[in-house]
Amino acid sequence: MAIFKGAGVAITTPFKEDGSIDFDLFTEQIEYQIAHKTDAIIVCGTTGEASTMSHEEHIAVIKHCCDVVNKRIPVVAGTGSNCTETAIYLSQEAEKAGADGILVVSPYYNKATQKGLIEHFTMVADSVKLPMILYNIQGRTGVNINPDTIATLFKNVSNIVGVKEASGNISQVAKIMQLTDGKIDLYSGNDDQIVPILSLGGKGVISVLSIVAPEQTHDICSLYFEGKTKESCDLQLKALPLIDALFCEVNPIPVKMGIKLQKRDTGVLRRPLTQMEDDHAKRLEAEMKKFGVL
């Protein structure tokens, strides 16, 4: 059984002006998502600015999320690192904290070979009992996890159960599904490709759009699963201008602005991320209004 099916939100981490984590605000964000039909919470991912956190902060955020959610919906913890030992440590701590699964990005900057990726992911998976989702995003890591590498890991490591595919290459996604006999749990890592990936047998999306439009993102998936493919596709296409606006600057700069536009809050960004440009913020506001989330 998949860790989750539908729209999992790549939740942001709220920071106070002094740079510390605002756990009260984080609780509010978690409750907002659960109240608005989000199917799972993905914590400490790219959108959560995990790369700027100390190990202690990283673990504390995962634990807080698990405690607040309290098994109402699945929690998937981002535990990837460019250091295998660090990824193992974070994964083990996420398991202790009560996470339902882990999301492990390919090592960044190191640019491992495919053989190195197999060894890395196998060692991390073997260190825990939790189900693991691979995260393929070459644009941020500098290395692609090739379809045959994903298939090898899926077939040989029992708790590697899924992949978040953010390559944007739909042919590659199709190849992954062909090589795994359609059995791997496939999640879109791009909000503009939810329906195409569902059509290839995907289980859902790990979504930034869900942060500001949780019900609509859930509905894109649920409508598709109900056989209402036209309605699902129509909603996907309607969301495209807003999705484009949410990525007009590097994530999570725009989506944190989107939260503020909704009269909620997620605190400040951690450097090196900076405040959104005014013209981009106006564009985002206009698209949120058009999509009915403002």
Helix H or strand E encompassing 103? strand 101-105
Listed in sequence order, the DSSP H helices in 129-169 are 138-141, 147-156
164 flagged as catalytic: yes
Catalytic residue status for 108:
no
Sequence length of the chain is 294
- Phi and psi, residue 81, nearest 5°: -160, 160
H or E segment to which residue 237 belongs: helix 229-246
Kindly calculate the radius of gyration of the chain based on its CA atoms and give it in whole angstroms: 18
CB–CB of 114/151 below 8 Å? no
Alpha-carbon span 65 to 54, nearest angstrom = 17
Asked whether the beta carbons of 166 and 136 are under 8 A apart, the reply is yes
Task: In whole angstroms, give the CA distance from residue 293 to residue 154.
Answer: 38
Q: From the candidates 164, 187, 224, 256, which is the catalytic residue?
A: 164
CA-CA distances (angstroms) from residue 42 to 67, 103, 117, 232, 241?
A: 14, 8, 22, 23, 24
- Out of 5, 63, 135, 256, which one is annotated catalytic? 135
| Cβ–Cβ under 8 Å, residues 158 and 126 | no
* Coil, strand or helix at 215: helix
- CA pair distance 180, 158, nearest whole angstrom: 13
- Cβ contact 220:232 at 8 Å: yes
3-class DSSP state for residue 53? Answer: coil
| Catalytic residue ranges | 135, 164
